[in-house]
Amino acid sequence: MLRSIFSNSYAKVREINDKYKTPGIEMSGGVKFALLALRLYLIALIGLSLYKFITLLK
Amino acid sequence: MNIFTRSYYIYRRLLKAVRLFLLAAGPGIIVMVADNDAGGITTYTVTGAKYGMNLLWFLILLGPVAYYVQEMTVRLGAVTKRGHAEAIFSAFGRFWGWFSLLDLVLTDWLTMITEFIGMTAALSIFHVPRLLTVVIVWLVMGGMIFSGRYWTWEKIALLFCAVNLVYIPAAFIVHPSIKDIAFNSFVPHFPPGGFTNELFFLLMANIGTTIAPWMLFFQQSSVVDKGLHEKDIAFGKIDTAIGAVFTVVVAMVLIIVTGRLIFGQPVDDAAVAARHIMPISRTIGTLIAIGLFDAGLLGAICISLASSWAFGEIFGWAHSLNNKVKEAPWFYAYYFFTLILAGTVVLIPGAPLVLITLFVQVIATTLLPAALVFLILLLNDKKTMGEHVNTRWQNTVNIGIVAVIVIISAMYGISTLFPDMFK
C-alpha cells in the first residue's frame, strides 16, 4: 500500500513538473532581474543560516 | 424627478450596494482579523508593556501597508480564478512553484504550532489542561468544515472575528488619556532611549505579524472559493480595508491596555501579560485570555486552510469548502493532518516551543520578500490581469513597501542569526 502511495505521488509530481515546465509570464528584463535578485537573496540567507548552524555545532 | 423620488432612488441604490457588499464581504475581514493571531497578540502586548503607547503611530502606518498588499490578492484571485499557489506555478514555472509551496507548508505548519501554544497558554489561565484545549480546538475546527458549504464556514469564521473585538471594551475600562493617544498616534517618534537593537526587533515583529505569506495564499484562494468575479473587486477592496481597520484597532487597543496597566513589567507573551493584569483587573485579564484563545483559533483555521487550498490547487484535488468530505478527501485529509500534527507537538513534554516560535519568526520574515516579489510581478502581467493590472500609483506604493520589507527582513534575519552584528 505504501509503495503504491509513493509511486502514485511520484507520478503526480512528475505530471506537475511537466505541466508547469515553462513559465507562463512574459520574461521581460524586469522579471528576469527580479528573479535573479531573489535567487541571490535566498542563496545569501541560506548560506548564512548554514554557517550559523555549522558554527553552533562546533 | 423631484427631490423625494431622487432620494428614494439613491436610497434603493445604496441598499442594493450594501446587500451586494455583504454578499462579497468575508475573505478580507477574516484574513485581516486572523492576522492578529496568537503571535500578533503577543507582539502587541510585549510592545505595549515595553514601550507604552509610544509606537501607536507605527501600527497605524502598518494598516495601509497590509491593505495595499492584500488588495492585490483580491484582484489576482477575481481575475485569474486561481489560487496563489497555482498562479505562481503557472507564471514562474516548477522551480519557483515548488519553492513557494514548500515554503508555505513549512511556515504554515510552524505557525500553526505557535497558534496552539497561544491557545493552550490562554486557557491554562482558566486551569484548562493542554490536552483538553487541543481536543476542543480539533473538534471546533473539524466541525466548521463538515457542513460542506463555504458560506457556513465563513459565517462561523466571522463570528470568531467578532469575538476578536473583545479587547475593545478593555480600552475604555483603563480610561486612557485621549491626548496621549492622539499624540502617540499621529506624531511619529521613537520611545525614550532612541532606536535600539531591541526596538528594531520589536518593530520587525510588528511588521512580520501584519504581513505574512500565508495571508496572501489564504485570501486569494478564499476569493476563488467564494466565487468572486471581476465586478466584485471593488467590494473585495472595501472588505479588505474594513479588515485592515479592525486589525489596527485591535493592535492599538492591546498596546493602550498593556501600556496603561503593565508598562515596564517583563512580559514575554500575551498569556504572561494576562496573568500580570489579572490582579489589577480581573475583567481585562480575562478578556485578554479569551481574545488570545480566539486569535490562535482564528489563525489556525486560516493557516491550515491556506495550505490545504494550495496543495489542492497544485495536485489537482477537489479543494473547495463547498465540497463534502467524501468529495474532497485529500483536501480535508491534509487539513486534518496539519491540525493534528501541530496540536500533537504542543502536547509533547519538553518540546522546544520557544525555539519553534523564534524559528517561525525568522523563517516567515526572511521568506516574506519572495512571496511579495511574486505578487508584484503577477500583478504587472498585462496578459493575465488585463485592465486590473497594477497602476503606476499602485506600483509605486507596492514596490516601495516591498523594497523596505526586503531590506529590513534581511537585516532581521541576519540579526536574529547573529545578534551582535548590528550592535
Tell which B residues from 302 to 331 touch A, by Cβ distance under 8 Å: 314-316
Q: Which of A12, A22, A37 sits opposite B93 (nearest CB)?
A: A22
- Between vectors from CA B299 to CA B296 and to CA B303, what angle results, nearest 5°? 140
Provide the pLDDT for residue A56: 66
To test the contact with chain B by mutation, choose from A18, A41, A43 the residue with the greatest count of B C-beta atoms within 10 A, namely A41
Identify the DSSP state of B211. S
Q: What is the pLDDT of residues B333-343, one digit of tens each?
A: 999 998 999 89
Residue A45 has pLDDT above 80, yes or no: no
Mean pLDDT value of segment B252-273: 87
- How close, in Å, is residue A38 to chain B by CA atoms? 7
- Between vectors from CA A20 to CA B214 and to CA A41, what angle results, nearest 5°? 50
Q: Is B26 on the interface with A (CB under 8 A)?
A: no
Do residues B200 and B69 touch, judged by C-beta distance below 8 A?
A: no
Q: What is the pLDDT of residues B298-334, one digit of tens each?
A: 999 888 888 898 888 898 888 888 888 888 888 899 9
Q: Is A24 on the interface with B (CB under 8 A)?
A: yes
- How close, in Å, is residue B247 to chain A by CA atoms? 30
One-letter amino acid for residue B36 of the chain: N
**Averaged confidence pLDDT in chain B:** 87
Residue B350 has pLDDT above 90, yes or no: no
Residue B250 has pLDDT above 80, yes or no: yes
Q: Which of A12, A17, A41 sits opposite B94 (nearest CB)?
A: A17
Q: What is the pLDDT of residues B351-407, one digit of tens each?
A: 777 667 666 766 777 678 888 899 999 999 988 898 999 999 999 998 998 888 888
Which residues on B lie below 8 Å from A48 (Cβ)? Answer: 413-414, 417-418
Mean pLDDT value of segment B43-66: 90
Residue B202 has pLDDT above 60, yes or no: yes
Provide the pLDDT for residue B1: 66
Which residues on B lie below 8 Å from A20 (Cβ)? Answer: 89-90, 93-94, 97
Residue A22 burial by Cβ neighbours in a 10 Å radius (0-12, 13-18, 19+): exposed
Identify the DSSP state of A39. H
Distance, CA of A47 to CA of A55 (rounded, Å): 12
Provide the pLDDT for residue B95: 92
Q: Which of B92, B315, B316 sits opposite A23 (nearest CB)?
A: B92
Q: What is the CB-side half-sphere exposure of residue B221 using CA atoms within 13 A?
A: 30
3-state helix, strand, coil in chain A (%, to 5): 80, 0, 20
Residue B73 has pLDDT above 90, yes or no: yes
Question: ipTM for the complex?
Answer: 0.87
Q: Which of A21, A35, A41 sits opposite B410 (nearest CB)?
A: A41
Distance, CA of B332 to CA of B309 (rounded, Å): 10
Provide the pLDDT for residue B410: 76
Which chain B residue is nearest to residue A40, measuring alpha carbons?
B370
Tell which B residues from 374 to 413 touch A, by Cβ distance under 8 Å: 376-378, 380-381, 383-384, 406, 410, 413
* pLDDT band at residue A10 under the 50/70/90 scheme: confident
Mean pLDDT value of segment B80-99: 91
* pLDDT band at residue B132 under the 50/70/90 scheme: very high
| Nearest in space to B414 (alpha carbons), one of A58, A57, A50, A45 | A45
Q: Is B422 on the interface with A (CB under 8 A)?
A: no
Taking CB atoms and an 8 Å cut-off, how many pairs form between chains A and B? 62
To test the contact with chain B by mutation, choose from A35, A52, A53, A55 the residue with the greatest count of B C-beta atoms within 10 A, namely A35
Q: Which of B314, B373, B380 sits opposite A16 (nearest CB)?
A: B314
Provide the pLDDT for residue B90: 92
Which residues on B lie below 8 Å from A8 (Cβ)? Answer: none
CB-CB under 8 Å, B315 with A17? no
E strand or H helix at B94: helix B84-124
Please count the other Cβ atoms lying within 10 Å of the Cβ belonging to residue A25: 20
- How close, in Å, is residue A24 to chain B by CA atoms? 4
Mean pLDDT value of segment B111-135: 91
Q: Is B89 on the interface with A (CB under 8 A)?
A: yes
Distance, CA of B249 to CA of B258 (rounded, Å): 14
Residue B74 has pLDDT above 90, yes or no: yes
Residue A27 has pLDDT above 60, yes or no: yes
* pLDDT band at residue B415 under the 50/70/90 scheme: confident
Residue B69 has pLDDT above 70, yes or no: yes
E strand or H helix at B92: helix B84-124
Which residues on B lie below 8 Å from A47 (Cβ)? Answer: none
To test the contact with chain B by mutation, choose from A10, A16, A20 the residue with the greatest count of B C-beta atoms within 10 A, namely A20
Which chain A residue is nearest to residue B366, measuring alpha carbons?
A45
**Which residue is associated with the grid cell 510581478?**
B377
- How close, in Å, is residue B93 to chain A by CA atoms? 4
